[in-house]
Chain A
């Protein structure tokens, strides 16, 4: 998938959650996202879904999260999200189930 950096999607949150300075951009669901030191897949999922994510990669509200994450076309199990940094230049896909045949 290609991303046009001049037209970031409104769904992409570009403000880092941590105070450290941005050190590059990654692609999340086709949109350019600024990433900083210590920004993990857990952070990316929490940001996109607006839900609090536990270190185990589950939703803090106790309901199923129903989310899967791939980095550069490789699925990263939820148990590894917290320890997987989103490095600049990486392509992250965060997917869920939707209606379909």
Chain B
């Protein structure tokens, strides 16, 4: 795949094309205006929400999560509608397949979408996925017509099981939710990305932009994050950083990185090097330099190259062997 194709190929999941490969969660920011700026800065076209009891008077200033429903002004719904962002309801907080099924059904009814980010966690300290319940819930939700985005551990075997069960995307974690520890097992993530035939979305654990780029370099199709942006000191700046990191990582993946080597490999040509004067020749001494020039010797190295000197130009114009660069 060419770099151009890599950059422009949309992210297709469950038959829907998204031009952004960054999926952003909405949790963690109580300032609605800030959330909207962060979402738009990230360029995301898909964002997660949770399902909770309707609480009258729930507002941005209360410190609670902001409700989706309500009138367009001052609601999560308004933000997503204005910015044309699709909604992906999650089953956060569910510990069993049974809980997750009910929550998924509620999300489908409330938001009129079959898409669900399936999250079945084992305990509240690690928030790690419970693989057994997750697989059970995936099978049942697929039978009920859901498009399942399965949040899973970084286990390549479980990821394939979820795909076999009908998940539309598998979403392995980089590290536990909200830890910002980055990608703890890059090898496993790469294995999952290379073996899955459904889209692989790295979900959770990202702390900063380099980790987002790494996820894409490892072959993930997309990245889902929330805390890394919403809990950053400057969420809008971090959202922008993540947007660029995902694009950069994707481009780099498509560009084909060089192989790792044990020893150095010069990128400048070895041929045509100058022959430096003897070490004991005086340096910076104009009469000596003039004398050397008059005798036809090269100018001592380290003193010669300036921006106006035409000599380096010749070097630059000389194509380096193997397509390497001269600098």
Contacts and interface: CB of A to CB of B under 8 A. Distances in A.
Interface in B35-56: 35, 48-56
A14 to B, nearest CB: 14
B89 interface: yes
B257 interface: no
B72 A96 contact: no
A34 B105 CA distance: 27
A67 B68 CA distance: 9
A99 interface: yes
Contacts of A94: 53-54
B122 interface: no
Contact of A97 (B29, B50, B57): B50
A97 to B, nearest CB: 3
A99 B87 CA distance: 11
Contact of A68 (B26, B50, B51, B226): B51
A101 B226 contact: yes
A70 B106 contact: yes
Nearest to A48: B54
Contacts of A75: 102, 105-106, 109
B65 A68 contact: no
A97 B71 contact: no
Nearest to A65: B69
Nearest to B60: A99
Contact of A98 (B67, B72, B177, B224): B67
B109 A68 contact: yes
Interface string A68-91: 111001010110000000000000
A7 interface: no
B222 interface: no
A50 B70 CA distance: 10
A15 interface: no
Interface string B197-238: 000000010000000000000000000101100000000000
Contact of B51 (A48, A64, A78, A95): A95
A52 interface: no
Interface string B77-111: 10000000001011010000000001001111111
A29 interface: yes
Contacts of A4: none
A49 B75 CA distance: 14
A66 interface: yes
A96 B90 contact: no
A99 B15 CA distance: 26
A16 interface: no
B211 to A, nearest CB: 16
A75 B70 CA distance: 21
Given A48-B54, A66-B70, A67-B54, A97 B107 contact: yes
Nearest to A11: B56
Interface of B: 25-29, 35, 48-58, 64-72, 76-77, 87, 89-90, 92, 102, 105-112, 177-178, 204, 224, 226-227
20 contacts: A11-B56, A30-B53, A63-B77, A64-B77, A65-B69, A66-B68, A68-B105, A68-B110, A78-B109, A96-B110, A97-B49, A97-B87, A98-B65, A98-B68, A99-B65, A99-B76, A100-B26, A100-B92, A101-B28, A101-B224
Interface of A: 11, 29-30, 48-50, 61, 63-70, 73, 75, 77-78, 93-101
Given A77-B109, A101-B177, 19 more contacts: A29-B53, A29-B54, A61-B71, A63-B70, A63-B71, A65-B69, A67-B69, A68-B105, A93-B106, A96-B54, A97-B49, A97-B52, A97-B110, A98-B58, A99-B29, A100-B26, A101-B50, A101-B90, A101-B92
Which 5 A-B residue pairings sit nearest by Cβ, starting from the closest? A100-B50, A66-B69, A97-B68, A101-B25, A68-B110
